[in-house]
Structure 1
Amino acid sequence: MVVWLALLGLGAVGRASAQVIRRPVPDKLIVLTFDDAAVSHATYVAPLLKKYRFGGTFFVCEFREPPFADKTKYMSWAQIRGLHRQGFEVASHTLTHQHVNKLSRPQLGAELDSIEARCRAWGIPRPTTFAYPGYDTHPTATALLPERGYLFARAGGARAYDPATDHPTLLPSFSISGPDTAKVLRAIRQARGGRIVILTVHGVPDVAHYWVTTPPTLFEQYLAYLHDHRYKVIALRDLARYVNVPEALRTLPPRYENLK
Protein backbone atom coordinates (compact mmCIF):
# COMPACT_ATOMS: atom_id res chain seq x y z
CA MET A 1 0.00 0.00 0.00
CA VAL A 2 2.80 2.42 0.92
CA VAL A 3 4.59 1.61 -2.33
CA TRP A 4 1.39 2.17 -4.29
CA LEU A 5 0.81 5.55 -2.66
CA ALA A 6 4.41 6.50 -3.33
CA LEU A 7 3.99 5.61 -6.99
CA LEU A 8 0.84 7.71 -7.14
CA GLY A 9 2.78 10.62 -5.68
CA LEU A 10 5.57 10.24 -8.20
CA GLY A 11 3.02 10.14 -10.97
CA ALA A 12 1.49 13.38 -9.76
CA VAL A 13 4.92 15.02 -9.66
CA GLY A 14 5.64 13.77 -13.16
CA ARG A 15 2.36 15.16 -14.49
CA ALA A 16 3.02 18.52 -12.83
CA SER A 17 6.50 18.67 -14.35
CA ALA A 18 5.11 17.81 -17.77
CA GLN A 19 2.63 20.67 -17.51
CA VAL A 20 5.39 23.12 -16.57
CA ILE A 21 7.66 22.04 -19.44
CA ARG A 22 6.25 23.44 -22.67
CA ARG A 23 8.67 21.47 -24.85
CA PRO A 24 11.66 19.21 -24.09
CA VAL A 25 14.71 21.11 -22.91
CA PRO A 26 17.66 20.19 -25.13
CA ASP A 27 21.10 19.50 -23.78
CA LYS A 28 23.64 22.32 -24.22
CA LEU A 29 21.15 25.16 -23.65
CA ILE A 30 22.85 28.28 -22.25
CA VAL A 31 21.41 31.65 -21.23
CA LEU A 32 23.82 34.60 -21.30
CA THR A 33 23.02 37.53 -18.99
CA PHE A 34 24.95 40.75 -18.45
CA ASP A 35 24.55 43.02 -15.43
CA ASP A 36 25.01 46.70 -14.54
CA ALA A 37 25.09 48.45 -17.96
CA ALA A 38 28.88 48.32 -18.23
CA VAL A 39 30.10 50.26 -21.26
CA SER A 40 32.00 47.20 -22.49
CA HIS A 41 28.66 45.51 -23.13
CA ALA A 42 28.09 47.85 -26.07
CA THR A 43 31.67 48.30 -27.25
CA TYR A 44 33.03 44.78 -26.85
CA VAL A 45 30.43 42.19 -25.85
CA ALA A 46 27.66 42.88 -28.36
CA PRO A 47 29.92 42.65 -31.45
CA LEU A 48 31.23 39.29 -30.23
CA LEU A 49 27.73 37.96 -29.63
CA LYS A 50 26.75 39.02 -33.14
CA LYS A 51 29.85 37.30 -34.51
CA TYR A 52 28.76 34.00 -32.98
CA ARG A 53 25.03 34.60 -33.52
CA PHE A 54 24.34 34.25 -29.81
CA GLY A 55 21.47 35.77 -27.89
CA GLY A 56 21.82 37.60 -24.61
CA THR A 57 20.03 39.63 -21.94
CA PHE A 58 21.39 42.94 -20.68
CA PHE A 59 20.14 43.87 -17.20
CA VAL A 60 20.47 47.63 -16.97
CA CYS A 61 20.41 50.07 -14.09
CA GLU A 62 21.76 53.54 -13.26
CA PHE A 63 24.35 53.19 -10.52
CA ARG A 64 24.77 56.05 -8.09
CA GLU A 65 28.37 55.12 -7.24
CA PRO A 66 30.40 55.31 -9.38
CA PRO A 67 27.87 57.65 -11.01
CA PHE A 68 25.98 56.49 -14.10
CA ALA A 69 26.89 59.81 -15.73
CA ASP A 70 30.46 58.54 -16.15
CA LYS A 71 30.35 57.18 -19.68
CA THR A 72 33.87 55.77 -19.42
CA LYS A 73 32.25 53.17 -17.13
CA TYR A 74 28.61 52.79 -18.18
CA MET A 75 26.58 52.66 -21.38
CA SER A 76 24.48 55.61 -22.46
CA TRP A 77 20.79 55.01 -23.08
CA ALA A 78 21.50 55.46 -26.78
CA GLN A 79 23.90 52.51 -26.57
CA ILE A 80 21.34 50.50 -24.60
CA ARG A 81 18.78 51.20 -27.32
CA GLY A 82 21.41 50.01 -29.80
CA LEU A 83 21.52 46.65 -28.04
CA HIS A 84 17.76 46.31 -28.47
CA ARG A 85 17.98 47.24 -32.13
CA GLN A 86 20.58 44.50 -32.63
CA GLY A 87 18.08 41.96 -31.31
CA PHE A 88 19.30 41.58 -27.73
CA GLU A 89 17.02 41.68 -24.70
CA VAL A 90 17.15 44.78 -22.48
CA ALA A 91 15.82 43.98 -19.01
CA SER A 92 15.49 45.41 -15.49
CA HIS A 93 18.07 45.45 -12.71
CA THR A 94 16.10 48.11 -10.75
CA LEU A 95 16.90 51.74 -11.48
CA THR A 96 19.52 52.30 -8.77
CA HIS A 97 20.75 48.75 -8.10
CA GLN A 98 18.74 48.49 -4.89
CA HIS A 99 18.66 45.13 -3.12
CA VAL A 100 15.05 44.03 -3.04
CA ASN A 101 15.24 42.66 0.50
CA LYS A 102 15.73 46.26 1.65
CA LEU A 103 12.77 47.68 -0.28
CA SER A 104 9.08 47.93 0.55
CA ARG A 105 6.58 46.90 -2.08
CA PRO A 106 5.95 50.55 -3.14
CA GLN A 107 9.70 51.21 -3.30
CA LEU A 108 10.33 48.19 -5.48
CA GLY A 109 7.41 49.21 -7.68
CA ALA A 110 8.96 52.66 -8.09
CA GLU A 111 12.30 51.14 -9.11
CA LEU A 112 10.56 49.00 -11.73
CA ASP A 113 8.54 51.99 -12.92
CA SER A 114 11.68 54.04 -13.44
CA ILE A 115 13.47 51.50 -15.64
CA GLU A 116 10.26 50.87 -17.58
CA ALA A 117 9.88 54.62 -18.15
CA ARG A 118 13.46 54.88 -19.45
CA CYS A 119 12.81 52.02 -21.84
CA ARG A 120 9.58 53.60 -23.05
CA ALA A 121 11.31 56.94 -23.67
CA TRP A 122 14.03 55.25 -25.74
CA GLY A 123 11.74 53.00 -27.77
CA ILE A 124 12.76 49.82 -25.95
CA PRO A 125 10.07 47.23 -25.14
CA ARG A 126 8.89 47.03 -21.55
CA PRO A 127 11.11 44.54 -19.69
CA THR A 128 9.70 41.10 -18.93
CA THR A 129 12.71 39.71 -17.05
CA PHE A 130 14.55 40.92 -13.95
CA ALA A 131 17.87 40.35 -12.17
CA TYR A 132 18.24 40.69 -8.42
CA PRO A 133 20.93 43.22 -7.43
CA GLY A 134 23.46 41.48 -5.23
CA TYR A 135 21.53 38.24 -5.77
CA ASP A 136 19.33 39.19 -2.80
CA THR A 137 15.82 37.77 -3.19
CA HIS A 138 12.67 38.40 -1.17
CA PRO A 139 8.99 37.37 -1.17
CA THR A 140 8.04 40.97 -1.96
CA ALA A 141 9.70 40.60 -5.34
CA THR A 142 8.44 37.11 -6.13
CA ALA A 143 4.90 38.36 -5.52
CA LEU A 144 5.18 41.71 -7.31
CA LEU A 145 7.13 40.73 -10.41
CA PRO A 146 4.51 38.33 -11.85
CA GLU A 147 1.79 40.87 -11.09
CA ARG A 148 3.75 43.34 -13.22
CA GLY A 149 4.06 40.89 -16.10
CA TYR A 150 7.62 39.74 -15.50
CA LEU A 151 8.19 36.17 -16.65
CA PHE A 152 11.56 35.33 -15.11
CA ALA A 153 13.90 36.74 -12.48
CA ARG A 154 17.53 35.68 -12.11
CA ALA A 155 19.59 35.36 -8.94
CA GLY A 156 22.91 33.57 -8.24
CA GLY A 157 23.67 30.35 -6.40
CA ALA A 158 26.20 28.70 -8.72
CA ARG A 159 23.90 25.89 -9.83
CA ALA A 160 21.97 24.93 -12.95
CA TYR A 161 18.34 25.90 -13.49
CA ASP A 162 15.85 23.04 -13.35
CA PRO A 163 12.62 24.33 -14.94
CA ALA A 164 10.66 21.43 -13.44
CA THR A 165 11.41 22.55 -9.87
CA ASP A 166 12.80 26.11 -9.82
CA HIS A 167 10.28 28.94 -9.52
CA PRO A 168 10.41 31.29 -12.56
CA THR A 169 11.19 34.31 -10.38
CA LEU A 170 14.04 32.53 -8.56
CA LEU A 171 16.37 31.30 -11.28
CA PRO A 172 19.91 30.30 -10.25
CA SER A 173 22.97 31.24 -12.26
CA PHE A 174 26.74 30.92 -12.39
CA SER A 175 29.05 33.94 -12.31
CA ILE A 176 31.95 33.88 -14.78
CA SER A 177 33.85 36.75 -13.11
CA GLY A 178 37.56 36.30 -12.51
CA PRO A 179 40.27 34.11 -14.04
CA ASP A 180 39.06 30.61 -13.08
CA THR A 181 38.36 29.11 -16.50
CA ALA A 182 38.02 25.57 -15.15
CA LYS A 183 35.14 26.68 -12.90
CA VAL A 184 33.35 28.30 -15.82
CA LEU A 185 33.75 25.30 -18.09
CA ARG A 186 32.49 22.97 -15.35
CA ALA A 187 29.42 25.18 -15.05
CA ILE A 188 28.78 25.22 -18.80
CA ARG A 189 28.95 21.43 -19.00
CA GLN A 190 26.07 21.10 -16.53
CA ALA A 191 23.62 22.06 -19.31
CA ARG A 192 22.21 18.56 -19.74
CA GLY A 193 19.50 16.26 -18.45
CA GLY A 194 16.77 18.90 -18.61
CA ARG A 195 18.84 21.53 -16.81
CA ILE A 196 19.73 24.91 -18.27
CA VAL A 197 22.87 26.87 -17.43
CA ILE A 198 22.43 30.60 -16.92
CA LEU A 199 25.67 32.60 -16.89
CA THR A 200 25.99 35.96 -15.15
CA VAL A 201 28.53 38.35 -16.63
CA HIS A 202 29.44 41.84 -15.47
CA GLY A 203 31.81 44.10 -17.37
CA VAL A 204 34.24 42.66 -19.92
CA PRO A 205 36.23 44.28 -18.41
CA ASP A 206 34.32 45.97 -15.58
CA VAL A 207 36.05 49.28 -14.87
CA ALA A 208 33.36 50.42 -12.41
CA HIS A 209 33.47 47.30 -10.22
CA TYR A 210 36.79 45.57 -10.69
CA TRP A 211 35.96 42.68 -8.32
CA VAL A 212 33.42 41.27 -10.79
CA THR A 213 35.38 41.87 -13.98
CA THR A 214 35.74 39.23 -16.68
CA PRO A 215 38.99 39.38 -18.66
CA PRO A 216 38.16 39.97 -22.33
CA THR A 217 40.53 37.25 -23.54
CA LEU A 218 38.82 34.67 -21.35
CA PHE A 219 35.36 35.85 -22.34
CA GLU A 220 36.15 35.31 -25.99
CA GLN A 221 37.52 31.86 -25.16
CA TYR A 222 34.22 30.99 -23.47
CA LEU A 223 32.22 32.12 -26.49
CA ALA A 224 34.49 30.16 -28.83
CA TYR A 225 34.03 27.07 -26.63
CA LEU A 226 30.23 27.44 -26.74
CA HIS A 227 30.33 27.86 -30.51
CA ASP A 228 32.77 25.04 -31.21
CA HIS A 229 30.89 22.60 -28.98
CA ARG A 230 27.53 23.48 -30.51
CA TYR A 231 25.79 25.03 -27.53
CA LYS A 232 22.56 26.94 -28.11
CA VAL A 233 22.89 30.39 -26.53
CA ILE A 234 19.73 32.39 -25.87
CA ALA A 235 18.35 35.37 -23.94
CA LEU A 236 16.48 34.90 -20.69
CA ARG A 237 13.13 35.82 -22.28
CA ASP A 238 13.57 32.89 -24.68
CA LEU A 239 13.08 30.44 -21.82
CA ALA A 240 9.36 30.98 -22.37
CA ARG A 241 9.70 28.67 -25.39
CA TYR A 242 10.41 25.83 -22.98
CA VAL A 243 8.60 26.82 -19.79
CA ASN A 244 4.86 27.25 -19.28
CA VAL A 245 5.31 30.26 -17.01
CA PRO A 246 1.71 30.60 -15.72
CA GLU A 247 1.67 26.92 -14.79
CA ALA A 248 5.09 27.15 -13.17
CA LEU A 249 4.01 30.17 -11.13
CA ARG A 250 0.89 28.30 -10.05
CA THR A 251 2.48 24.98 -9.11
CA LEU A 252 6.12 25.53 -8.13
CA PRO A 253 6.74 26.85 -4.60
CA PRO A 254 9.30 29.65 -4.23
CA ARG A 255 12.56 28.38 -2.66
CA TYR A 256 14.91 31.11 -1.53
CA GLU A 257 17.87 28.99 -0.46
CA ASN A 258 21.02 28.49 -2.53
CA LEU A 259 20.57 31.62 -4.65
CA LYS A 260 23.47 33.80 -3.48
Structure 2
Amino acid sequence: MLLLVALGLRVGSSHAQQLRRSVPDRLVVLTFDDAAVTHATYVAPLLRKYGFGATFYVCEFRPDFADKTKYMSWSQIGDLHRQGFEIGSHTLTHKHVNKMSAPELVAELDSIESRCRNNGIAKPTTFAYPAYDTHPIAFTVLPQQGYQFARVGGDKPYDPATDNPLLIPSFTTTGTDKQRVLTAIQQAVGGKIVVLTVHGVPDYAHDWVTTPPALFEEYLRYLHDNHYKVIALRDLKKYVRVPGASTPKS
Protein backbone atom coordinates (compact mmCIF):
# COMPACT_ATOMS: atom_id res chain seq x y z
CA MET A 1 0.00 0.00 0.00
CA LEU A 2 2.81 2.45 0.87
CA LEU A 3 4.45 1.80 -2.49
CA LEU A 4 1.20 2.52 -4.31
CA VAL A 5 0.81 5.79 -2.47
CA ALA A 6 4.41 6.71 -3.22
CA LEU A 7 3.75 6.17 -6.92
CA GLY A 8 0.77 8.46 -6.81
CA LEU A 9 -1.86 5.77 -7.30
CA ARG A 10 -5.39 6.27 -6.10
CA VAL A 11 -6.41 3.53 -3.72
CA GLY A 12 -9.41 2.99 -1.50
CA SER A 13 -11.55 5.64 -3.22
CA SER A 14 -15.31 5.16 -3.17
CA HIS A 15 -17.81 4.69 -5.97
CA ALA A 16 -19.24 8.10 -5.11
CA GLN A 17 -15.89 9.66 -5.92
CA GLN A 18 -15.19 7.86 -9.18
CA LEU A 19 -18.45 6.71 -10.76
CA ARG A 20 -20.80 8.71 -12.98
CA ARG A 21 -23.30 5.86 -12.84
CA SER A 22 -23.41 2.33 -11.48
CA VAL A 23 -21.53 -0.30 -13.44
CA PRO A 24 -23.87 -2.97 -14.80
CA ASP A 25 -23.04 -6.65 -14.62
CA ARG A 26 -21.67 -8.19 -17.81
CA LEU A 27 -19.66 -5.15 -18.92
CA VAL A 28 -16.57 -6.16 -20.94
CA VAL A 29 -13.90 -4.09 -22.70
CA LEU A 30 -12.14 -5.59 -25.73
CA THR A 31 -8.60 -4.37 -26.50
CA PHE A 32 -6.22 -5.46 -29.26
CA ASP A 33 -2.46 -4.83 -29.21
CA ASP A 34 0.36 -4.32 -31.68
CA ALA A 35 -1.46 -3.50 -34.96
CA ALA A 36 -1.54 -7.13 -36.11
CA VAL A 37 -2.83 -7.40 -39.68
CA THR A 38 -5.52 -9.86 -38.60
CA HIS A 39 -7.17 -7.08 -36.63
CA ALA A 40 -8.23 -5.58 -39.95
CA THR A 41 -8.73 -8.74 -41.99
CA TYR A 42 -10.41 -11.03 -39.45
CA VAL A 43 -11.21 -9.34 -36.14
CA ALA A 44 -13.01 -6.17 -37.26
CA PRO A 45 -15.54 -7.96 -39.49
CA LEU A 46 -16.40 -10.31 -36.60
CA LEU A 47 -16.81 -7.43 -34.17
CA ARG A 48 -19.18 -5.73 -36.57
CA LYS A 49 -21.11 -8.99 -36.99
CA TYR A 50 -21.73 -9.12 -33.24
CA GLY A 51 -22.16 -5.37 -32.78
CA PHE A 52 -19.24 -5.04 -30.37
CA GLY A 53 -17.02 -2.06 -29.64
CA ALA A 54 -13.26 -2.37 -29.19
CA THR A 55 -9.98 -0.50 -28.84
CA PHE A 56 -7.02 -1.18 -31.13
CA TYR A 57 -3.69 -0.20 -29.52
CA VAL A 58 -1.35 0.53 -32.38
CA CYS A 59 2.40 0.91 -32.65
CA GLU A 60 5.06 0.46 -35.32
CA PHE A 61 6.95 -2.65 -34.24
CA ARG A 62 10.52 -2.18 -35.49
CA PRO A 63 12.00 -3.35 -37.78
CA ASP A 64 9.17 -5.50 -39.14
CA PHE A 65 6.31 -2.97 -39.31
CA ALA A 66 6.89 -2.64 -43.06
CA ASP A 67 5.92 -6.30 -43.49
CA LYS A 68 2.21 -6.00 -44.28
CA THR A 69 1.74 -9.78 -44.07
CA LYS A 70 2.19 -9.26 -40.30
CA TYR A 71 1.12 -5.72 -39.49
CA MET A 72 -1.66 -3.35 -40.52
CA SER A 73 -0.99 -0.39 -42.77
CA TRP A 74 -1.99 3.06 -41.58
CA SER A 75 -4.70 2.96 -44.22
CA GLN A 76 -6.15 -0.12 -42.53
CA ILE A 77 -5.83 1.50 -39.10
CA GLY A 78 -7.67 4.54 -40.43
CA ASP A 79 -10.40 2.29 -41.76
CA LEU A 80 -10.87 0.80 -38.27
CA HIS A 81 -11.38 4.34 -36.98
CA ARG A 82 -13.92 5.07 -39.70
CA GLN A 83 -15.80 1.90 -38.75
CA GLY A 84 -16.25 3.37 -35.28
CA PHE A 85 -13.56 1.50 -33.35
CA GLU A 86 -11.21 3.30 -30.98
CA ILE A 87 -7.57 3.72 -31.94
CA GLY A 88 -5.38 3.96 -28.85
CA SER A 89 -1.66 4.52 -28.30
CA HIS A 90 0.80 1.71 -27.63
CA THR A 91 3.80 4.06 -28.07
CA LEU A 92 5.40 4.42 -31.49
CA THR A 93 8.03 1.69 -31.22
CA HIS A 94 6.60 -0.55 -28.48
CA LYS A 95 9.27 0.76 -26.13
CA HIS A 96 8.65 -0.13 -22.50
CA VAL A 97 7.66 2.83 -20.34
CA ASN A 98 10.08 1.81 -17.58
CA LYS A 99 12.94 2.22 -20.06
CA MET A 100 12.14 5.82 -21.03
CA SER A 101 12.55 9.27 -19.59
CA ALA A 102 9.54 11.57 -19.49
CA PRO A 103 10.65 13.45 -22.67
CA GLU A 104 11.13 10.12 -24.47
CA LEU A 105 7.63 9.00 -23.52
CA VAL A 106 6.22 12.31 -24.71
CA ALA A 107 8.05 11.84 -28.03
CA GLU A 108 6.66 8.33 -28.44
CA LEU A 109 3.13 9.55 -27.76
CA ASP A 110 3.53 12.57 -30.05
CA SER A 111 4.69 10.32 -32.89
CA ILE A 112 1.62 8.08 -32.74
CA GLU A 113 -0.64 11.13 -32.38
CA SER A 114 0.97 12.69 -35.47
CA ARG A 115 0.39 9.56 -37.53
CA CYS A 116 -3.21 9.48 -36.37
CA ARG A 117 -3.69 13.11 -37.32
CA ASN A 118 -2.15 12.55 -40.75
CA ASN A 119 -4.49 9.63 -41.39
CA GLY A 120 -7.73 11.26 -40.27
CA ILE A 121 -7.83 9.39 -36.96
CA ALA A 122 -8.95 11.03 -33.72
CA LYS A 123 -6.23 11.80 -31.19
CA PRO A 124 -5.84 8.85 -28.82
CA THR A 125 -7.14 9.35 -25.29
CA THR A 126 -6.33 5.89 -23.91
CA PHE A 127 -3.02 4.07 -23.65
CA ALA A 128 -1.75 0.50 -23.30
CA TYR A 129 1.62 -0.11 -21.65
CA PRO A 130 3.91 -2.20 -23.88
CA ALA A 131 4.63 -5.53 -22.16
CA TYR A 132 2.52 -4.20 -19.25
CA ASP A 133 5.61 -2.41 -17.87
CA THR A 134 4.75 0.74 -15.92
CA HIS A 135 6.69 3.60 -14.35
CA PRO A 136 5.74 6.63 -12.21
CA ILE A 137 6.56 9.02 -15.08
CA ALA A 138 3.43 7.78 -16.86
CA PHE A 139 1.19 9.15 -14.12
CA THR A 140 2.41 12.66 -14.94
CA VAL A 141 2.96 12.41 -18.70
CA LEU A 142 -0.24 10.62 -19.70
CA PRO A 143 -2.68 13.15 -18.14
CA GLN A 144 -0.61 16.04 -19.49
CA GLN A 145 -0.98 14.52 -22.96
CA GLY A 146 -4.74 14.17 -22.55
CA TYR A 147 -4.94 10.45 -21.75
CA GLN A 148 -7.82 9.45 -19.48
CA PHE A 149 -7.33 5.69 -19.15
CA ALA A 150 -4.39 3.31 -19.48
CA ARG A 151 -4.37 -0.48 -19.50
CA VAL A 152 -1.95 -2.94 -17.93
CA GLY A 153 -2.09 -6.71 -17.30
CA GLY A 154 -2.61 -8.34 -13.92
CA ASP A 155 -5.23 -11.01 -14.72
CA LYS A 156 -7.95 -9.47 -12.57
CA PRO A 157 -11.10 -7.44 -13.22
CA TYR A 158 -11.08 -3.65 -13.10
CA ASP A 159 -12.71 -2.22 -9.99
CA PRO A 160 -13.31 1.53 -10.43
CA ALA A 161 -13.76 1.83 -6.65
CA THR A 162 -10.13 0.95 -5.98
CA ASP A 163 -8.11 0.83 -9.22
CA ASN A 164 -6.30 3.80 -10.69
CA PRO A 165 -7.74 4.65 -14.16
CA LEU A 166 -4.15 4.82 -15.44
CA LEU A 167 -3.54 1.24 -14.28
CA ILE A 168 -6.59 -0.65 -15.51
CA PRO A 169 -5.96 -4.40 -15.21
CA SER A 170 -6.77 -6.90 -17.93
CA PHE A 171 -6.83 -10.59 -18.79
CA THR A 172 -5.07 -11.98 -21.86
CA THR A 173 -6.76 -14.38 -24.29
CA THR A 174 -3.41 -15.82 -25.39
CA GLY A 175 -3.35 -19.60 -25.79
CA THR A 176 -5.97 -22.31 -26.05
CA ASP A 177 -7.28 -22.53 -22.49
CA LYS A 178 -10.89 -21.65 -23.23
CA GLN A 179 -12.14 -22.15 -19.68
CA ARG A 180 -9.55 -19.73 -18.29
CA VAL A 181 -10.87 -16.98 -20.56
CA LEU A 182 -14.54 -17.76 -19.90
CA THR A 183 -13.87 -17.77 -16.15
CA ALA A 184 -12.27 -14.35 -16.53
CA ILE A 185 -15.24 -12.99 -18.47
CA GLN A 186 -17.64 -14.24 -15.81
CA GLN A 187 -15.98 -11.95 -13.23
CA ALA A 188 -17.78 -8.92 -14.74
CA VAL A 189 -20.19 -8.68 -11.80
CA GLY A 190 -20.61 -6.66 -8.62
CA GLY A 191 -19.37 -3.38 -10.05
CA LYS A 192 -16.29 -4.90 -11.67
CA ILE A 193 -15.45 -4.62 -15.37
CA VAL A 194 -13.53 -7.27 -17.32
CA VAL A 195 -10.96 -5.99 -19.80
CA LEU A 196 -9.53 -8.48 -22.30
CA THR A 197 -6.16 -8.06 -24.02
CA VAL A 198 -5.93 -9.78 -27.41
CA HIS A 199 -2.97 -9.85 -29.77
CA GLY A 200 -3.11 -11.28 -33.29
CA VAL A 201 -5.93 -13.64 -34.29
CA PRO A 202 -3.71 -15.34 -35.25
CA ASP A 203 -0.51 -13.39 -34.57
CA TYR A 204 1.89 -13.89 -37.47
CA ALA A 205 4.63 -11.75 -35.89
CA HIS A 206 4.55 -13.13 -32.34
CA ASP A 207 3.10 -16.62 -32.27
CA TRP A 208 3.58 -16.95 -28.49
CA VAL A 209 0.73 -14.47 -27.92
CA THR A 210 -1.59 -15.73 -30.65
CA THR A 211 -5.29 -16.40 -30.15
CA PRO A 212 -6.66 -19.10 -32.50
CA PRO A 213 -9.35 -17.63 -34.79
CA ALA A 214 -11.97 -20.29 -34.14
CA LEU A 215 -11.51 -19.96 -30.39
CA PHE A 216 -11.69 -16.17 -30.61
CA GLU A 217 -15.05 -16.41 -32.33
CA GLU A 218 -16.22 -18.76 -29.58
CA TYR A 219 -15.44 -16.00 -27.07
CA LEU A 220 -17.41 -13.47 -29.09
CA ARG A 221 -20.33 -15.86 -29.46
CA TYR A 222 -20.29 -16.48 -25.69
CA LEU A 223 -20.36 -12.74 -25.01
CA HIS A 224 -23.21 -12.26 -27.47
CA ASP A 225 -25.31 -15.23 -26.38
CA ASN A 226 -24.96 -14.33 -22.69
CA HIS A 227 -25.93 -10.69 -23.23
CA TYR A 228 -22.65 -9.00 -22.34
CA LYS A 229 -22.19 -5.33 -23.23
CA VAL A 230 -18.87 -5.05 -25.09
CA ILE A 231 -17.25 -1.63 -25.36
CA ALA A 232 -14.01 0.22 -26.13
CA LEU A 233 -11.80 1.43 -23.29
CA ARG A 234 -12.67 5.07 -24.05
CA ASP A 235 -16.32 4.23 -23.29
CA LEU A 236 -15.46 3.74 -19.63
CA LYS A 237 -15.92 7.50 -19.26
CA LYS A 238 -19.67 6.82 -19.40
CA TYR A 239 -19.27 5.12 -16.03
CA VAL A 240 -16.01 6.33 -14.49
CA ARG A 241 -15.30 9.94 -13.51
CA VAL A 242 -11.71 10.91 -14.33
CA PRO A 243 -10.11 14.36 -14.72
CA GLY A 244 -10.61 15.63 -18.25
CA ALA A 245 -13.25 13.09 -19.23
CA SER A 246 -16.24 14.80 -20.83
CA THR A 247 -19.69 14.06 -19.47
CA PRO A 248 -21.51 11.63 -21.82
CA LYS A 249 -24.80 12.70 -23.35
CA SER A 250 -26.55 9.46 -22.47
> What is the TM-score of this pair, normalised by structure 2?
0.92
Name the CA distance, whole Å, in 2 between partners of 1:129 and 1:185.
Answer: 25
Question: Which letter maps to 2:159?
Answer: D
Report the equivalent of 1:94.
91
- Which residue of the partner structure matches residue 36 of structure 1? 34
Letter of the 1:140 counterpart = I
Over aligned residues, Cα RMSD in angstroms?
Answer: 1.5
How far 1:171 sits from its partner (Å)?
0.4
- Match for 2:240 among 235, 238, 243? 243
Q: Assess if the C-alpha contact under 8 Å between 1:42 and 1:80 holds in 2.
A: yes
1:200-255 Cα offsets, whole Å, 9 max, x none, are: 0000000000000000000000000000000000000000000011299xxxxxxx
Instruction: Please say if residues 22 and 241 of structure 1, whose CA atoms lie closer than 8 Å, have aligned partners that are also in contact.
Output: yes
Which of 16, 21, 35 is the equivalent residue of 2:19? 21
CA distance in structure 1 between the aligned counterparts of 2:228 and 2:98, rounded to whole angstroms: 35
Secondary structure (helix, strand or coil) at the match of 2:56 reads: strand
The answer on whether the counterparts of 1:19 and 1:247 sit within 8 Å (CA) in structure 2 is no
The CA deviation at 1:14 is 9.2
TM-aligned CA deviation for residue 64 of structure 1: 0.5
**Superimposed CA distance per residue, residues 11-32 of structure 1 (whole angstroms, 9 cap, x where no aligned partner):** xx99842121110000000000
Alignment match, 1:234? 231
Shift, 1:143, TM fit: 1.4
Give the structure-1-normalised TM-score.
0.88
Q: Which residue of 1 aligns with 2:75?
A: 78
**In structure 1, how many angstroms separate the alpha carbons of the residues matched to 2:244 and 2:235?**
17
Letter of the 1:198 partner, please give it: V
Does the CA contact (< 8 Å) of 1:57 and 1:88 recur in 2? yes
CA-to-aligned-CA distance 1:30-68 (integer Å, 9 cap, x gap): 000000000000000000000000000000000014x10
Higher helix share: 1
Matches within 5 A, 1:173-188: 173-188=170-185
Shift of 1:147: 1.1
In the aligned structure 1, how far is the partner of 2:41 from the partner of 2:182?
25
Question: Which stretches in structure 2 are left out of the alignment for 5+ residues?
Answer: 1-10, 246-250
Distance 1:16 1:223 in 2: 32
Instruction: Report the counterpart of residue 130 of structure 1 in structure 2.
Output: 127
Partner residue, 1:146: 143
Q: What SS class does the counterpart of residue 44 from structure 1 fall into? A: helix
In the alignment of these two chains, the number of paired residues is: 235
SS in 2 for 1:246: coil
Does the Cα contact within 8 Å between 2:13 and 2:161 map onto a contact in 1? no
Identical residues among aligned pairs (%):
71
Letter in 2 for 1:225: Y
Change (3 A) 1:134 1:171: same
Q: Name structure 1 gaps, 5 residues minimum.
A: 1-12, 249-260
Q: Do the aligned partners of residues 14 and 93 (structure 1) sit closer, same or farther apart at CA in structure 2, a change above 3 Å counting?
A: closer
Runs of 4+ in structure 1 off by over 6 angstroms are: none
Paired residue for 2:248?
none
Contact in 1 for aligned 2:29/2:54 (Cα 8 Å): yes
Give the number of the structure whose alpha-carbon radius of gyration is greater.
1
